[in-house]
Structure 1
Amino acid sequence: MKKIIYSLMFFFLMTSINAQQTPAPKQSNAISIEGATAHLGNGQIIKNSLVMFANGKITFVGSAMAKIARQGTVINAKGKHIYPGFIAANASLGLAEIDAVKATRDFDEVGAMNPHIRSLIAYNAESKVVESMRPNGVLMAQTSPRGGTISGTSSIVQLDAWNWEDAAFKTDDAIHINWPGSFTRGRWWLGEDPALKADPKYGKNIDNIKQYFMNAKNYLASNKEKTHLPYEATKGLFDGTQKVFIHTSGAKEITDAVTICKDLGIKNIVIVHGDGAESVADMLVKNNVGVVLDRPHRNPNNEDDAYDYTYTIAKVLIDKGVLVCLGMEGQMERMNTRNLPFYAGTFAAHGLDKEVALKLLTSNSAKILGIDDKVGTLEVGKDATLFISEGDALDMRGNILTKAYIQGRDISLETHQTKLWKRYANKYKSK
């Protein structure tokens, strides 16, 4: 009887396995896409455009009326739209598959101070969740750790790869810190007052972070008789080759975080979440600090915030001169990352210019992540990471991809979800 049960379990396991689409081969033939409306990702548009790329790099971007020989295969995209590949900042793609199954979750390590923990080596390139990003135009992501005070180190990946080594686009780009809050609520389940009040431990929590980085800085300047891996991992923060992403909200917390990091000699700072950042926008601009905003589809954090605060915060910050992009941390964040373009569309529906909203996923993301020399816009010399959509890619009604390329490679837009859609579409057509 046991043999029968084990055989059945093995059968169901094997029949349920469906690996990600085979990654596309390296580009071998040049491509010319003409007739589409090109959204360059920097706020500019070219109607009736011509975009050409070869060997994974863009070789021409301009008007289709230009008297220039087309290269290789010519794609007629008249009436369609072409965009740079969307980039998801502060996502945890590939670090968990099923939230309810602990064995598939690899984004949160034991311990409070983990700057040496690298999210990249835990990245699952064959994740079904990752696969489902591409049909909506999300072609790159910053895969970031969670948990603790210092969560670990993120890396930037492209979403069509055999393994994490192939996926890596920029390794160990930033260390992530969960900054303590200056207010706290009592634990009502223990009979404590649940009202919001000042946290008496805030100062001590800040001192712990300061002391940790001071110790790391002193270690790096010492003879290093004994290797300390966590301290070694912070070297990039002090020599300027690595950024620090500080996850916090509140004007006081943001100000404290930026001031303390500057005092420690950490210059490349990014604020994640950033509710309340509009109150200290001048300080952020002065110190060249970017903000990775949360998704707009949520309730405001504070009782006195405007009802539409989360929908208008992007425009408010951009109007003040702050560099802003869109992140994905929150509930169901990995699955919801595929909706990245529609969150930007929500900002556009609440006062932000459509092409400026697009920058939240393209040029702004690339600048904040430090990869704008290679991706983020349709420009000659940059990677041919782009896609063709039948309509407006920030609107779910128009976001219908016909082609997508990562570094010039013609990637598959087929996923387990599209297979199920076709299966059941055929089922109901037959009746």
Structure 2
Amino acid sequence: MKTIKITFLLVLISFCGELYAQQTPASKQSTAVTIVGAKAHIGNGEVIENSLIIFENGKLTQVMDATTTKMQYRGTIINAEGKHVYPGFIAPNSTLGLVEIDAVRATDDQDEVGEMLPHIRSIVAYNAESRIIESMRPNGVLTAQITPRGGTISGTSSIVQLDAWNWEDAAVRTDDGLHINWPSSFTRGRWWEGEDPGMKANKKYQEEVLKLNQFFNNSRAYLAGDQKLVNLPYKAMESVFSNDKRVFIHVDLEKEILDVLQFKKDQNIENLVIVGGYEALTVADALKENNVAVLATRPHTSPGRDDLDYDYNYKMAKLLTDKGVLVGLESSGQMEAMNTRNLPFYAGTVASFGMDKEEALKLVTSNTAQILGIDNMIGTLERGKDATLFISEGDALDMRTNKLTKAFVQGREISLESHQTELYKRYSNKYKPEKE
């Protein structure tokens, strides 16, 4: 009887493991793959109506027009006639893998205690087996910048591909950028401390900006000294001052953005990116002049002010692009980890409000790759770059036709199954009409 109970328990555990286990990461590419006949959206604005794409050892070796070449097919041949092929979408400023369930504190590792935390590395907290991550891939989101939150200086982000056993396997570029939450020039009254409610000018704004400048100055002084006493925050600033690491400043208001541009000059920061930039349009000329890119806030939100057009959020990325600013799309905000899967549809919304479809595609591919400094690896379908791409039955920026049939990360064919797809298959036949 005891043996039967143990056997039953083992079977039950095995069943639950099959039901709830993560998708096993794909093995390294072993044979060449040829995709022929698809409409290829290169990611840089170009389109090849009848394409021939070959990749092996994880790298693209051929991307050309199939009608004008006699190139011999290699390895596994995929007939994608009538379908579309895209570079994998890139999600910047994301907390994927850092938070699993917002209401369960033990699964939330996006924030550390303290204000100036340049030495905090998000990559070591990244959970490659997050169930949220596997739900990104069926929509074509295959790469993400994993970004910490909180404090004035939140820490350092890293860029990962979304099919891996652990953070070491996932890493595309570690410690790519420092993230700073710029002080706000306005503050809300804290009722719990007896302050009047509502928005008001932040009287400590200049003091907080000065404190940030002092931290940078003190870090430089420390690095120029003998460094006998180890100071991890100051030490972590070395790669910022050498311009090996980008600086991402999270800021929205016009005055604050102008102060950020002054901060860039004062601190001699070469690679600075605005994240959010809700009022960036009003200072677009200054951003262009200072060669500052913008990771624009997601379009699927309500206007932030009463005097803005109802469609301001939808067209903001286009208007900034028209001004000559390099723009990508990010998805921070309410339920940001889960909503990252909607990244292609954010670009689709921008396209529906005036931007050319291929230009909108760049907002989540080549533009973002350039902003993150990984455009030599991913972001477009070009020879020599990683074979991180997918095949869709239709337009991948439209939720009605974004239906992936195959996806590859660094040449490895990955699973497109997730908890959601399993549930869909389970319940899709439940309410079929009865046959007469």
TM-score (norm 2): 0.94
Q: 1:141 aligns with which of 137, 141, 144?
A: 144
Specify every segment of 5 or more residues in structure 1 that has no aligned partner in the other structure, as ranges.
1-7
Q: 1:317 aligns with which of 310, 317, 320?
A: 320
Query: Are 2:113 and 1:110 equivalent residues in the alignment?
Result: yes
Q: Aligned ranges for residues 263-274 of structure 1 at < 5 Å? A: 263-274=266-277
Residue 431 of structure 2 aligns to a residue whose secondary structure is: helix
**Alignment partner, residue 78 of structure 1:** 81
Residue identity opposite 1:183 in structure 2? F
**Alignment partner, residue 52 of structure 1:** 54
**Alignment partner, residue 333 of structure 1:** 336
- CA–CA distance in 2 between the matches of 1:230 and 1:295? 31
Query: Are 2:132 and 1:129 equivalent residues in the alignment?
Result: yes
Residue 404 of structure 1 aligns to a residue whose secondary structure is: strand
- CA–CA distance in 1 between the matches of 2:259 and 2:39? 44
RMSD over aligned Cα atoms: 1.9
**Alignment partner, residue 425 of structure 1:** 428
Contact in 2 for aligned 1:140/1:159 (Cα 8 Å):
yes
After TM superposition, the structure 1 stretch with the greater mean CA deviation from structure 2, 264-273 or 159-168, is 264-273
Q: Aligned ranges for residues 374-413 of structure 1 at < 5 Å? A: 374-413=377-416
**Alignment partner, residue 363 of structure 1:** 366
Shift of 1:186: 2.1
- CA–CA distance in 2 between the matches of 1:182 and 1:267? 25
Residue 364 of structure 1 aligns to a residue whose secondary structure is: helix
Shift of 1:380: 0.4
Q: Aligned ranges for residues 237-252 of structure 1 at < 5 Å? A: 237-252=240-255
Shift of 1:112: 1.0
**Alignment partner, residue 24 of structure 1:** 26
TM-score (norm 1): 0.95
- CA–CA distance in 2 between the matches of 1:254 and 1:229? 29
Residue identity opposite 1:72 in structure 2? G
Q: Once the two structures are superposed, what CA deviation does each residue of 1:291-334 show, in whole Å capped at 9, x if it has no partner?
A: 01111111122222222111110011000000000111111000
Shift of 1:250: 1.1
- CA–CA distance in 1 between the matches of 2:226 and 2:47? 55
- CA–CA distance in 2 between the matches of 1:216 and 1:56? 40
Q: Once the two structures are superposed, what CA deviation does each residue of 1:254-274 show, in whole Å capped at 9, x if it has no partner?
A: 111121132112221000000
- CA–CA distance in 1 between the matches of 2:186 and 2:421? 46
Shift of 1:198: 1.9
Shift of 1:246: 0.3
Residue identity opposite 2:378 in structure 1? V
Shift of 1:429: 4.2
Shift of 1:195: 3.9
Shift of 1:163: 0.2
| Count of equivalent residues | 424
Specify every segment of 5 or more residues in structure 2 that has no aligned partner in the other structure, as ranges.
1-8
Residue 20 of structure 2 aligns to a residue whose secondary structure is: coil
Contact in 2 for aligned 1:385/1:406 (Cα 8 Å):
yes
Q: 2:72 aligns with which of 66, 69, 73?
A: 69
- CA–CA distance in 2 between the matches of 1:191 and 1:350? 45
- CA–CA distance in 2 between the matches of 1:198 and 1:414? 49
- CA–CA distance in 2 between the matches of 1:304 and 1:194? 22
After TM superposition, the structure 1 stretch with the greater mean CA deviation from structure 2, 364-373 or 418-427, is 418-427
**Alignment partner, residue 15 of structure 1:** 16
